[in-house]
Amino acid sequence: MCEIVPVTKRTAIILLMTLPAQGQQIEQPWYNKGLASIKQGKFNEAIRAFNEAIRINPQLTAPWLPVTHYFPEGTVLYYDIVGLTAEDLRAQMDALGPIGPDGYKSDAFTIWSTKWGWPPCQIDKATVSYEIMVLFPRWKPPRDASAQLVAKWDDYIRALATHEKGHVDYIVKNYRLIVDAIKKADCYTAELAAQAALSLLRSHDVEYDAITNHGATQGARFP
């Protein structure tokens, strides 16, 4: 049975008291859980946690002109940073940015997951799909920010986005290798074949970061 309770002055006050204080971010626990999952190499869990954070606060993915257009195939989750000096921004990114499973502290991170399946023993009908999420710092320069810092920041995020785009593009171009591997296998070996293809795709991220020194050779260094 459902009883309709009118919103009285008293319940309105209780409602106000249970709302988070201004500036407090209620999506933060999910964001932190996502970061912890990245560190453990649990990328599917990271994507799930970040999607929860986005559900609570859709502003996390609000399009941001300098960066959004780099990643039409993925979701960009921005973590907002504030400050007026390069040191401020560096400290914020150090506090809020991701740490990879290899222990490397980076300012941006691309996570992706794939799903595959087929009707029982009809591996010729196998399908695969992907989900890509890019974690990225977002600083909207206040009016009194120096032009020099703004220019340095613009250069940085361009280089950082270029680096992350390398991770994203590889997956978009190659995720179908999983379905190719499944179709070359048989009903009993298909799952193993898919897992092997997935491992190969994952190894690209490690190789690409080694070759580019996590983007440093592409100019992604700040300040």
- In the complex, the residues that contact Zn ion under the rule CB under 5 A are 209
Residue 167: CB minimum distance to Zn ion, A: 6
Instruction: Give dist(CA 135, CA 218) in Å, integer.
Output: 18
Residue 104: CB minimum distance to Zn ion, A: 9
Amino acid at 119: P
Helix (H) or strand (E) holding 76, with range, is strand 75-80
Whole-number Cα distances in Å, 115 to 61, 126, 143? 23, 11, 45
Instruction: Give dist(CA 2, CA 131) in Å, integer.
Output: 40
Among residues 12 and 206, whose Cβ is nearest to Zn ion? 206
Residue 68: CB minimum distance to Zn ion, A: 19
Residue 125: CB minimum distance to Zn ion, A: 35
Chain residue whose CB lies nearest Zn ion: 209
Among residues 107 and 209, whose Cβ is nearest to Zn ion? 209
Instruction: Give dist(CA 88, CA 98) in Å, integer.
Output: 17
Among residues 113 and 189, whose Cβ is nearest to Zn ion? 113
Among residues 64 and 170, whose Cβ is nearest to Zn ion? 170
